[in-house]
Chains A and B, each alone.
Chain A
Amino acid sequence: MQTLDIISINIWQMLISLANLVILFLIVKKFLYNPVKKMLEKRQQTIDTKYSEAEQAKNKALSDKQSYEEKLLSAKQEADSLIQSAVDIARSRENTILLDAKQKADGILRQAQQNAELETKKAEKAIKDEIVKVSTLIAGKMLEREVNEKDHKQIIDSFIEEIGEENEGN
């Protein structure tokens, strides 16, 4: 079998080898490089979308948290104001009730005083009458004579009045 020389130049062989390299370049590009590159790009896209989604979710959670905190704060304030207003109402009502009670108590006291005065006066009058009757009886007995009851009464009354005035003067 024939062999080439160790150093031999053949243009056609060179062209074939050049074409071989070009063919292999196309093969590698089509079957290895492009699929892997496409896959890597796709993965990168997926990662990017995942990241942006996570970012969005985080932002949403943060804003939600903020709004909830605001709501919580406003609810607290509302509750505080409610309690405050309730306390105010209760306090005003308490005042009115106290005032009413005081007024009523005053009224009752005054009536009682008036009643007591009236009773005193009645008792004074009764005692006075009694004293007049008794003194008249005593005087009649002492004088043993019939005196005009009417005159006596006048005298004794004036007498008692004087005593009363002296007593009051004291």
Chain B
Amino acid sequence: MANTNRRFKFVDIFYIVMMIVPLVVGVIIQVLTKPLAEGITLTGARIFYTVPMPIQDLVITEAQINSALVIVTILFFCLYMTHGIGEHIKLKRQHFAELIVEKVDGLVSENMGEYFNGYSPFIIAILALSACSSLVSLLGMFPPTSDLNVVGGWAILVFILITYYKMKCGPLYYLKGFTEPIPLLAPINFISEFATPVSMSFRHYGNILSGTVISTLIAAGLSGLSAMIFKFLPGFLSQIPFLQVGLPAVLSIYFDVFSGCLQAFIFAMLTMMNISGGFPIDEYEKRKLKKLAINK
């Protein structure tokens, strides 16, 4: 009994350590490789390695590495959450695990309907990946969501899913959908179809990036302002940006924490809405019934 208990605790600690290690690794990479910024510099993700590929070279950037680290963290978080859960609640974490699953289940069944009940894990994955990717900026790491390519990849996946469900009633029905309500609007409908993933990815990416931009600008501005105000101080004291204490932290709560979580939620909501909204469930049921009748 004591032995299994000790082993259980050991596994728990292993999971927690494995949750923290990727983040520490990310911070260390950041510290070791980031050059000191001179003035206001706004750049995209730094490229670590370039792999020659057809069409376009594959670049391994901070965004990719940080995404991978976040995924490892989430993997061990999931393992920790479900470690030792059972019918009878013995561990506090079980409440949290049940809360996550039941809340997202409720959200999915409320927004998507019964047909899409299997989408809960996908929505959990989107929420977790998006929120955690945005929140790593709290550790000073480059947030992967401020790279258009990362968010664009998710939006393309969502677009594929939307189109798949729209095509469930056959390609002809899908093409006919473009001529609604009048055939004249077909080009606009076609554009709006492709606008969905673009708007989704740009919304998310732009919000996180704008937070970074504003934070950088304010930090630089405060630095300049304090240099101006405290010019009279002797020696190196005039070089210390006193005004940078306080305000950036408050802004970080909005731009990093709140905006990051909100954008994750918005992205998940839009995913649910678009997938379930594009699926003509009535028509699908009708066709299914007809098919059954013919087969009989």
Question: Are B97 and A3 touching (Cβ within 8 A)?
Answer: no
Question: Are A33 and B47 touching (Cβ within 8 A)?
Answer: no
Choose, from B60-68, B180-188, B217-225, B240-248, the stretch at the interface: B60-68
Residue in A6, A25, A40 whose CB lies within 8 Å of B43:
A6
Tell me which residues across on chain A come within 8 A of B229, comparing CB atoms. Answer: none
Question: Are A28 and B97 touching (Cβ within 8 A)?
Answer: no
B153 sits at the interface (CB 8 A): yes
B100 sits at the interface (CB 8 A): yes
A115 sits at the interface (CB 8 A): no
A36 to B61 CA separation, bound complex (whole angstroms): 35
Question: Restricting to A1-26, which residues have a CB under 8 Å from any CB of B?
Answer: 1-25
Residue in B64, B125, B151 whose CB lies within 8 Å of A28:
B125
A116 sits at the interface (CB 8 A): no
Residue in B75, B120, B157, B209 whose CB lies within 8 Å of A21:
B157
Residue in B120, B125, B149 whose CB lies within 8 Å of A9:
B149
Tell me which residues across on chain B come within 8 A of A10, comparing CB atoms. Answer: 56, 58-59, 149
Question: Are B46 and A22 touching (Cβ within 8 A)?
Answer: no
CB distance from B122 to the nearest CB of A (A): 5
Range of interface residues on B (Cβ < 8 Å): 35 or more
A63 sits at the interface (CB 8 A): no
Interface of B is mostly: helix
Tell me which residues across on chain B come within 8 A of A25, comparing CB atoms. Answer: 121-122, 125
A91 sits at the interface (CB 8 A): no
B87 sits at the interface (CB 8 A): yes
Tell me which residues across on chain B come within 8 A of A15, comparing CB atoms. Answer: 153
23 contacts between A and B (CB under 8 A): A3-B44, A7-B148, A8-B148, A9-B149, A12-B53, A12-B59, A13-B58, A13-B64, A17-B64, A17-B67, A17-B149, A20-B150, A20-B153, A21-B126, A24-B128, A27-B71, A28-B78, A28-B128, A31-B75, A31-B78, A32-B81, A36-B98, A36-B100
Interface residues of B (CB under 8 A from A): 33, 35, 42-47, 53, 55-59, 61, 63-64, 67-68, 71, 74-75, 78-79, 81-82, 85-87, 97-98, 100-102, 120-122, 124-126, 128-129, 144, 147-154, 156-157, 209
Interface residues of A (CB under 8 A from B): 1-25, 27-29, 31-37, 39-40, 42-43, 46
Closest 4 CB pairs of A and B: A17-B153, A4-B44, A13-B149, A29-B121
